[in-house]
Structure 1
Amino acid sequence: MASFKVTGGRKLHGEIIPQGAKNEALQIICAVLLTKDPVTIHNIPDIRDVNALIDLLGDMGVKKTRLSASSVRFQADDVHMDYLESEAYKNKAASLRGSVMMLGPLLARYKKGKIPRPGGDKIGRRRLDTHFLGFERLGAKFDFDPEDGGFYKVDASNLRGTYMLLDEASVTGTANVLMAAVLAEGITTIYNAACEPYLQQLCKMLVRMGAKISGIGSNLLQIEGVSELNGTEHTMLPDMIEIGSFIGMAAMTQSEITIKNCSIPDLGVIPGVFRKLGIQLEIRGDDIFVPAQDHYEIDTFIDGSMLTVADAPWPGFTPDLLSIVLVTAVQAKGTVLIHQKMFESRLFFVDKLIEMGAQIILCDPHRATVVGMNREIQLRGIRMTSPDIRAGVALLIAAMSAKGVSIIDNIEQIDRGYQNIDTRLNALGAEIIRL
Structure 2
Amino acid sequence: MSSFVIEGGHKLSGEIVPQGAKNEALQILSATLLTEDKITVSNVPDILDVNNLIELLRLMGVEVTKITAGTYEFCAKDVNLPFVESQEFLERSRKLRGSVLLCGPLIARFGYAIFPKPGGDKIGRRRLDTHLIGIMNLGADCEYIQDKHSYELHAPNGLKGTYMLLDEASVTGTANILMAAVLSKGITTIYNAACEPYIQQLCKLLNNMGAKISGVGSNLLTIEGVETLHGACHRMLPDMIEVGSFIGMAAMTGSSLRIKNVSLPDLGIIVPSFRRLGIDIREEDDDIFIPDQDIYEIETFMDGSILTVSDAPWPGLSPDLLSVFLVVATQAKGSVLIHQKMFESRLFFVDKLIDMGAQIILCDPHRATIIGHGKYNSLRASTMTSPDIRAGIALLIAAMSAKGTSVIHNVDQIDRGYENIEQRLNALGAHISRLD
Asked if TM exceeds 0.5, the reply is yes
Counterpart residue type for residue 90 of structure 1: L
TM-score for both structures, normalised by structure 1 = 0.99
**Which residue does the alignment assign to 2:3?**
3
TM-score for both structures, normalised by structure 2 = 0.99
**Which residue does the alignment assign to 2:152?**
153
Q: CA deviation at 1:87?
A: 2.3
Distance in structure 1 (CA, Å) of the matches to 2:85 and 2:176: 21
Counterpart residue type for residue 286 of structure 2: D
Instruction: Report SS of the residue matched to 1:396.
Output: helix
Instruction: Report SS of the residue matched to 1:372.
Output: strand
Counterpart residue type for residue 156 of structure 1: A
* Per-residue deviation, residues 189-238 of structure 1 (Å, max 9, x unmatched): 00000000000000011000000000000000000000000000000000
**Which residue does the alignment assign to 2:196?**
196
Distance in structure 2 (CA, Å) of the matches to 1:74 and 1:369: 47
Alpha carbon RMSD of aligned pairs, Å? Answer: 0.6
Distance in structure 2 (CA, Å) of the matches to 1:41 and 1:429: 32
Q: CA deviation at 1:117?
A: 1.3
Counterpart residue type for residue 120 of structure 2: G
Structure 1 segment 338-353 matched on structure 2, within 5 A = 338-353=338-353
Task: Give the unaligned 5+ runs of structure 1.
Answer: none
Q: CA deviation at 1:115?
A: 2.7
Structure 1 segment 386-405 matched on structure 2, within 5 A = 386-405=386-405
Distance in structure 1 (CA, Å) of the matches to 2:115 and 2:142: 12
Distance in structure 1 (CA, Å) of the matches to 2:367 and 2:129: 25
* Per-residue deviation, residues 311-363 of structure 1 (Å, max 9, x unmatched): 00000000000000000000100000000000000000000000000000000
Q: Percent identity?
A: 66
| More moved, 79-88 vs 309-318 | 79-88
Counterpart residue type for residue 198 of structure 1: Y
Counterpart residue type for residue 291 of structure 1: P
Instruction: Report SS of the residue matched to 2:321.
Output: helix
Instruction: Report SS of the residue matched to 2:341.
Output: coil
**Which residue does the alignment assign to 1:64?**
64
Counterpart residue type for residue 371 of structure 1: I
**Which residue does the alignment assign to 2:124?**
124
1:368 equivalenced with 2:372 (yes/no): no
**Which residue does the alignment assign to 1:256?**
256
Task: Give the unaligned 5+ runs of structure 2.
Answer: none
* Per-residue deviation, residues 379-422 of structure 1 (Å, max 9, x unmatched): 11110000000000000000000000100000000000000000
Counterpart residue type for residue 29 of structure 2: I
Q: CA deviation at 1:152?
A: 1.3
Counterpart residue type for residue 237 of structure 2: L
Structure 1 segment 30-49 matched on structure 2, within 5 A = 30-49=30-49
Instruction: Report SS of the residue matched to 2:148.
Output: coil
Distance in structure 1 (CA, Å) of the matches to 2:281 and 2:383: 32
* Per-residue deviation, residues 35-69 of structure 1 (Å, max 9, x unmatched): 00000000000000000000000000000110011
Instruction: Report SS of the residue matched to 2:130.
Output: helix
Distance in structure 2 (CA, Å) of the matches to 1:420 and 1:100: 25
Q: CA deviation at 1:116?
A: 1.8
**Which residue does the alignment assign to 1:322?**
322
Distance in structure 2 (CA, Å) of the matches to 1:180 and 1:378: 51
Structure 1 segment 86-105 matched on structure 2, within 5 A = 86-105=86-105
Instruction: Report SS of the residue matched to 1:127.
Output: coil
**Which residue does the alignment assign to 2:82?**
82
Distance in structure 2 (CA, Å) of the matches to 1:55 and 1:8: 36
**Which residue does the alignment assign to 1:165?**
165
Distance in structure 1 (CA, Å) of the matches to 2:116 and 2:127: 14
Distance in structure 1 (CA, Å) of the matches to 2:404 and 2:344: 32
Q: CA deviation at 1:133?
A: 0.5
Counterpart residue type for residue 348 of structure 1: F
Counterpart residue type for residue 220 of structure 1: L
| More moved, 84-93 vs 278-287 | 84-93
Counterpart residue type for residue 101 of structure 1: L
Q: CA deviation at 1:85?
A: 2.2
Distance in structure 1 (CA, Å) of the matches to 2:111 and 2:124: 32
Q: CA deviation at 1:426?
A: 0.2
